[in-house]
Chain A
């Protein structure tokens, strides 16, 4: 057969050197070591979204008139894996980390060892004007802005109007956890909270403790040996009472011990849905489900929203804060250019556009004035109000230890005991931080 001959002979006749050279060249090209990239190319490591960041990158590249061109590079799906990848690259002084989309809780860990390029003063000033308090707090480490707030996320209370009405809850006023739990109990419905052993557990606990006037970490800037936790306090015990009651009384349903944000949304859309604390993605996801025909329009019409529940009637809630900030790697070849690009990325116009197309709320309050926002996100005002009072998770270089420690001791909710869990989890995390225990 001619074909077999064709495949066999060239290997013999081609000099070995050519094959080797080809292999080496191939490796070089694939690993991106070739001289092909121009000097003004910036790499932006983005978290997965609905294409919004890539669109902004393209738009800003065009607007720069050739001064720079932004290429996006996709990070893993969950925040923890994004952090793992970025931290390793930063520790290895990877020069390709020009712009990074960072989850705020992990920023101190990267800022402390000097992995982030300092934010120029003029950029800091221009990009924090009209930005919500919580987002600036999340972008700051040791009183210095180390990243630029891009979009800010917060959890609000979602409820089924029919259930709230039947339970006689006045949703025009702020509600308390006590009311919400009582409603679920009397109406025999389930609450949408996140009881899985995952980051969402820390988000929930932090919001409860902050709403009760406490903090998970008393002195965020302390070193690992001296850090003092605020878990075993009145606020921590009050939070434990809420979590434990929901777990022990079965108010979260049988799925609670493995329930994260997505799972609680699915339960909320079902027959037992009543009240849920969750991020704004809930709304576009529900609209999409109705459009796809997998959910009744009646469910969507039955959904209402308000500010996160309070711990006590007379104390304002401190809802969870999330979002994405933009940082520049210390080893980047083009930090000035990167900050120039960041100024473009976080422009008010881009933030509005990103909210409308991708559902991620702006950190800049001005961006909420875009008329399109009210149309696609009727709860935009609630989100903006919530962002103004939202509290960030503990800002500490040891956030991963603190969060993982909380997850291991505060999940499942039914196992939480207000008398012992706050103290024992506090001891556990402290000894992990001192290097005396594994996590």
Chain B
């Protein structure tokens, strides 16, 4: 453990390590003046400039299309402002936030959203891992075909898949009730969208069906990074399949797993399309995105709606913070740089 400390002080982060090593060639006191730009070689500087030229425009556009609306939403959330009553606009400070946070509708929406996020991400992780293993082990000749087949649901537009699932389970036009009537609890009179638990089941099943491919591809990339020698060595040492998984493969692809979980959790937390199409938030299926939509777009209450959006944004930030700081997800690590 102690040996790691000096190593860390000289190479603070992987991003800085590169330039510093190159700048150091032919220069003795690199540790003191390593940060000064003039210490970089021409090549490094050119690369950095190229990096900015390539990424700069996208970065500026990102700022314009994301930062500006975020700031505007924060500003609007401090007003009582209804689009159809522009003259009555009034500054009310944090009152919108108080109304929202003291309202059971917000909390039930939050718990529904958290429930959907946790269940879908867990199920997707397990299924995705299984699919990734299948793809990893599949013969080279069928690997491409298999990957394409698995990716098909992910390629479908969410609204379209939501309608497909809705009509499959709909009590009038659906076929699910007659196909699965042999299962206990399912008969031709089961109205899936008439109560929360069954409606959430369909919503989550559709979500899982559609996004498991995404998670499995991320995990496949992680699997590919685990050196074969490690598992072979474990096998020689007499490790069972489960021991190899637990002790060798999963620890070595932890970064990939965490990135997959983080990306999917952020996506799942912002779920909108499936709920909007299937139940429109009826009977206990209201999620936070839909709540924000209802205030801003349906009610045209720009202030209240912005406040819900800002709170939703803070929840998403919190998920990122927890993942990156507490679980130490290394977003740079999976770029293949390491």
Contact = CB atoms under 8 A, between A and B. Distances in A.
A400 B280 contact: no
B298 A435 contact: no
A403 to B, nearest CB: 10
B191 A438 contact: no
Contacts of B83: 87-88, 91
A257 B99 contact: no
Nearest to B191: A254
Given A435-B304, A438-B105, A439-B299, A198 B189 contact: no
Interface stretch (A29-37, A107-115, A234-242, A313-321): A107-115
Contacts of A84: 297-298, 300
B171 interface: yes
Interface string A115-126: 100000000000
B299 A91 contact: no
A438 B105 CA distance: 7
Given A266-B172, A438-B100, A400 B190 contact: no
A255 B282 contact: no
B194 A438 contact: no
A256 B191 CA distance: 9
Interface residues of B, number: 34
Contacts of B297: 84
Contacts of B295: 438-439
Contacts of B304: 435, 438
A91 B84 contact: yes
A267 B170 CA distance: 13
Given A255-B191, A258-B194, A438-B100, A397 B84 contact: yes
B165 interface: no
Given A437-B105, A438-B105, A438-B106, A198 B280 contact: yes
Interface string B64-107: 00000000000000001001111100000000000110010110
A6 B190 CA distance: 62
Contact of A437 (B103, B189, B193): B103
A198 B87 CA distance: 31
Interface centre among A254, A258, A397 (most CB of B within 10 A): A258
A259 B317 CA distance: 39
Interface string A399-439: 01100100000011000000000000000000000011111
B291 interface: yes
B283 A439 contact: no
B85 A257 contact: no
A439 B99 contact: no
B105 A412 contact: no
Contacts of A112: 84-85
A258 B85 contact: no
A80 interface: yes
Contacts of A255: 171-172, 191
B270 interface: no
A439 B295 CA distance: 7
B147 interface: no
Nearest to B297: A84
A286 to B, nearest CB: 15
Nearest to A83: B298
Contacts of A258: 170-171, 191, 193-194, 282
Contacts of A401: 299
Given A197-B280, A397-B84, A87 B299 contact: no
Contacts of B282: 196-197, 258, 411
A263 interface: yes
Contacts of B283: 197, 257, 411-412
B254 interface: no
Contacts of B170: 258
Interface centre among A113, A263, A397, A438 (most CB of B within 10 A): A438
B189 A267 contact: no
A258 to B, nearest CB: 5
A438 B171 CA distance: 31
A115 B84 contact: yes
B68 to A, nearest CB: 17
Nearest to A84: B297
B10 to A, nearest CB: 45
B136 interface: no
B86 A404 contact: no
Nearest to A414: B194
B30 interface: no
Interface in A115-168: 115
A109 B194 CA distance: 31
Contact of B84 (A113, A257, A439): A113
B105 A113 contact: no
A197 B86 CA distance: 30
Contacts of B100: 438
Contacts of A256: 191, 194
Nearest to B194: A257
A68 to B, nearest CB: 29
B291 A113 contact: no
A240 to B, nearest CB: 19
B53 to A, nearest CB: 15
24 contacts: A84-B297, A91-B300, A112-B84, A112-B85, A113-B84, A113-B85, A113-B87, A197-B283, A254-B191, A258-B171, A258-B191, A258-B194, A258-B282, A266-B173, A400-B298, A400-B299, A411-B283, A412-B283, A435-B99, A436-B99, A438-B291, A438-B295, A439-B294, A439-B299
Interface of B: 80, 83-87, 99-100, 103, 105-106, 170-173, 189-191, 193-195, 279-280, 282-283, 291, 294-295, 297-300, 304, 308
Q: Identify the 3 closest CB pairs spanning chains A and B, nearest first.
A: A257-B194, A197-B282, A254-B189
Interface of A: 80, 84, 87-88, 91, 109-110, 112-113, 115, 196-198, 254-258, 263, 266-267, 397, 400-401, 404, 411-412, 435-439
Given A258-B171, A258-B191, A438-B103, 18 more contacts: A84-B298, A91-B84, A196-B282, A255-B172, A257-B193, A257-B194, A258-B193, A266-B173, A397-B85, A400-B300, A404-B298, A412-B283, A435-B99, A435-B304, A437-B99, A438-B291, A439-B105, A439-B294
